A and B are shown apart, each in its own frame.
Chain A
Amino acid sequence: MIQIENLHKTYHSGFLMKPKLALKDVSFHVDAGQVYGFIGPNGAGKSTTIKVLTGLLNFDSGKVLVNGVSPRDVKSRTFLGYSPEQPYFYDYLTGRELLKFYGRLVGLDGAELDSRIGWALELLHANKDWIDRRLRSYSKGMMQRVGIAQAILGRPKLLILDEPMSGLDPMGRRDVREAIQELNRDGVTIFYSSHLLSDVESISHRVAMIVDGKIVREGTIDEITESCGVEYHVRTRQAILAADLPEGVTPAGHPQECVCADDAARDRLLGFCLQNGIAVEKMDHKRPSLEDILTEEIARAES
């Protein structure tokens, strides 16, 4: 559905048009039917990548295909829905008028348009009286819901959402999360960026992590977290002296607990316990969270 290979994008700013490389050799694929999370710190290149995909930004080099078509081609947007970060709309219109305007632009009209607007508003729990008020009176959360509603009006095959949960309260976040999952169950591929890593972990099939314009991790949540190593926390019936612990195993603060840095260390500890008749009471494996990995990658990029 999305194919990005060796994408480079440079911004030129200031009077002297000073260049700044915003995307450096970005490559990843999004298959049809996936919920794909795109994470990274502020200014890492998430919105730039999204704007390249939606044809709003040109790029220096690389290959970008959306549904098999270059985003420079209008056809690439036929089956695309997009909601920008902090969506801004014509504030002299009401929410419903705005949806009618965008609906007509994607080829809807008459009763079909009305029913599609009703469906989108229901999905986002936005079918309330405020939808007939002028947009200038909307809160950030209401704007976000209208933004997503306009993106899904045309029943897109690919939905691109830039920070869809920003500005939403917990209920709003839940509504948007559920809407994403429901749309995905209906076969819509969803590519979205977010700062809320817990939400990303809970709904994404795959994730790409971008730091300083480069993709630093890509894969399923399991693949990404496994690639950073898994720690094993082992609790034994009796205490083991620190000096006796095998290589790669360290005490965990409690005399009966220790931490194995990897699978090999875990095996060495289990072998030691068997040899010495020490019973293992409990063993947990702990993976780093996306947040841990992202923090680590940011620190690495800064260093």
Chain B
Amino acid sequence: MQSLKHIAIIAQNTFRESIRDKILYNIVFLAIALTLFSIVLGEWSVFDRSYVIKSTTLSVMSLSGLLISIFVGISLVQKEIQRRTVLTLLSKPISRAAFIIGKYFGLLAVVAVHLMILTVLFYLMLLVTGAEPTASLLTAIYLIFCEMAVVIAVALLFSSFSSTILSALFTLGVYFAGHLSDQLLEQVKFASRMGELNDSSSILLEKTAVVIHAVFPGLYRFNVTTYVVHNVALPDMYLLWNSLYALGYVGVFLAIASWWFSRRDFL
């Protein structure tokens, strides 16, 4: 119970710290600008305007969430260590796991507020432009939130033991690997079926693709833009299973981050 209270206090402070970060505002304004720009893109595009606005805005939500996780999230832990504020904080009767989890929820709240702002703007734009503001779009936004929940956990995991730049690169790596692992596996399997993968190096390539697909979080699962934009129904229980999938990865990443952080020396 006491730990939950500590987590809430740290999360609240993290939220307060983040919303005073100029980088956050730059990302939020950029995201708003790009979202508005999607109207112009819709006019210019050969595709249906509604399709362009919806798919562009959902992509902006995902990418801006990623940028917040990287530029705000990673620096949150590193700043605590570099500015030595962590010394006073961890000398209080709080566990290092509570510190990591508190930071996590603080940043998750920032991303949630960011997505909420973009969602309101998104629906206003759809109403103004006469595009169809379906409720299923909320499903896609919810899954982007789940994706960001995983990405923030990845960012915190790396920032618990490496420098800011390395953490950013690692997090970006996981993001892209998580989005492309499915396609990579598909391509390798296709090539295998075509009989193009026979030598030992090709077998190694296939095994690597399988490992990447198995180990990295499958972030492609959270991208349902095509489905919702074209009003295609998602499979039953899709939301539930993918929520649990995200929760599982978040739990594992935070557990590793907490374990690693608890082994660290603070000079």
> Measuring CB to CB, which residues of chain A are less than 8 angstroms from any residue of chain B?
11, 51, 54-58, 74-75, 77-78, 80, 82-84, 87-90, 92, 101-102, 104-107, 147, 150
Are the C-beta atoms of A90 and B85 separated by less than 8 Å? yes
Are the C-beta atoms of A58 and B88 separated by less than 8 Å? no
Inter-chain contacts of A55 with B (CB < 8 A):
90-91
Are the C-beta atoms of B95 and A89 separated by less than 8 Å? no
Question: Among the listed A54, A89, A107, which residue makes an inter-chain contact with B91, where contact means beta carbons less than 8 Å apart?
Answer: A54
Assess A102 versus B93: contact at CB under 8 Å? Given A92-B17, A92-B20. no
Assess A84 versus B93: contact at CB under 8 Å? Given A51-B266, A56-B266, A90-B13. no
Are the C-beta atoms of B93 and A56 separated by less than 8 Å? no
Q: Which of B5-62 contact A (CB under 8 A)?
A: 5-6, 9, 13, 16-17, 20
Inter-chain contacts of B84 with A (CB < 8 A):
84, 88
Assess A105 versus B87: contact at CB under 8 Å? Given A57-B265, A77-B93. no
B201 on the A face (CB < 8 A): no
Q: How far is the CB of B92 from chain A (nearest CB, A)?
A: 5
List 9 other contacts, CB 8 Å, given A56-B266, A92-B16, A101-B13.
A51-B267, A56-B91, A78-B93, A84-B87, A87-B87, A90-B85, A105-B6, A105-B9, A105-B94
Are the C-beta atoms of B263 and A102 separated by less than 8 Å? no
Inter-chain contacts of A101 with B (CB < 8 A):
9, 13
Q: How far is the CB of A91 from chain B (nearest CB, A)?
A: 8
Task: Name the residue on A nearest B89 (C-beta).
Answer: A105
Q: Which of B65-96 contact A (CB under 8 A)?
A: 83-85, 87-95
B198 on the A face (CB < 8 A): no
> Would you mind naming 16 contact pairs between A and B with Cβ atoms under 8 Å apart?
A51-B267, A54-B87, A57-B265, A75-B93, A77-B91, A78-B93, A80-B91, A82-B91, A83-B88, A84-B84, A84-B87, A87-B87, A88-B84, A88-B87, A105-B92, A105-B94
Q: How far is the CB of B263 from chain A (nearest CB, A)?
A: 7
Task: Name the residue on A nearest B90 (C-beta).
Answer: A56
Q: How far is the CB of B79 from chain A (nearest CB, A)?
A: 9
Inter-chain contacts of A88 with B (CB < 8 A):
83-85, 87-88
B200 on the A face (CB < 8 A): no
CA distance A56 to B96 in the complex (A): 10
> Measuring CB to CB, which residues of chain B are less than 8 angstroms from any residue of chain A?
2, 5-6, 9, 13, 16-17, 20, 83-85, 87-95, 263, 265-267
Are the C-beta atoms of A104 and B9 separated by less than 8 Å? yes
Q: How far is the CB of B238 from chain A (nearest CB, A)?
A: 40
CA distance A107 to B263 in the complex (A): 26
Inter-chain contacts of B91 with A (CB < 8 A):
54-56, 77, 80, 82, 84
Are the C-beta atoms of B266 and A57 separated by less than 8 Å? yes
Are the C-beta atoms of B95 and A74 separated by less than 8 Å? yes
Inter-chain contacts of B94 with A (CB < 8 A):
74, 105
Task: Name the residue on B nearest A150 (C-beta).
Answer: B88
Assess A89 versus B265: contact at CB under 8 Å? Given A104-B9, A105-B6, A106-B93. no
Are the C-beta atoms of A89 and B88 separated by less than 8 Å? yes
Inter-chain contacts of B92 with A (CB < 8 A):
77, 102, 105-106
Q: How far is the CB of B166 from chain A (nearest CB, A)?
A: 15
Inter-chain contacts of B88 with A (CB < 8 A):
82-84, 87-89, 102, 147, 150
Q: How far is the CB of A74 from chain B (nearest CB, A)?
A: 5
Most buried by A among B85, B88, B89, B95: B88
Inter-chain contacts of A105 with B (CB < 8 A):
6, 9, 89, 92-94
Inter-chain contacts of A82 with B (CB < 8 A):
87-88, 91
Q: How far is the CB of B146 from chain A (nearest CB, A)?
A: 30
Are the C-beta atoms of B265 and A56 separated by less than 8 Å? yes
Are the C-beta atoms of B17 and A90 separated by less than 8 Å? yes
Q: How far is the CB of B76 from chain A (nearest CB, A)?
A: 11
Task: Name the residue on A nearest B21 (C-beta).
Answer: A92
Task: Name the residue on A nearest B265 (C-beta).
Answer: A57
Inter-chain contacts of A56 with B (CB < 8 A):
87, 90-91, 265-266
CA distance A80 to B84 in the complex (A): 19
Q: How far is the CB of B64 from chain A (nearest CB, A)?
A: 23
Inter-chain contacts of A90 with B (CB < 8 A):
13, 17, 85
CA distance A82 to B86 in the complex (A): 12
Q: How far is the CB of B236 from chain A (nearest CB, A)?
A: 44
Inter-chain contacts of B85 with A (CB < 8 A):
88-90
Q: How far is the CB of B23 from chain A (nearest CB, A)?
A: 14
CA distance A92 to B87 in the complex (A): 18
CA distance A82 to B83 in the complex (A): 17
5 A-B pairs closest in CB distance: A82-B91, A77-B93, A56-B266, A54-B91, A105-B92
Task: Name the residue on A nearest B83 (C-beta).
Answer: A88
Inter-chain contacts of B95 with A (CB < 8 A):
74
Q: How far is the CB of A188 from chain B (nearest CB, A)?
A: 16
Most buried by A among B9, B87, B91: B91
Task: Name the residue on B nearest A48 (C-beta).
Answer: B267
Most buried by B among A54, A58, A82, A90: A90
Inter-chain contacts of B93 with A (CB < 8 A):
74-75, 77-78, 80, 105-106
Q: How far is the CB of B44 from chain A (nearest CB, A)?
A: 42
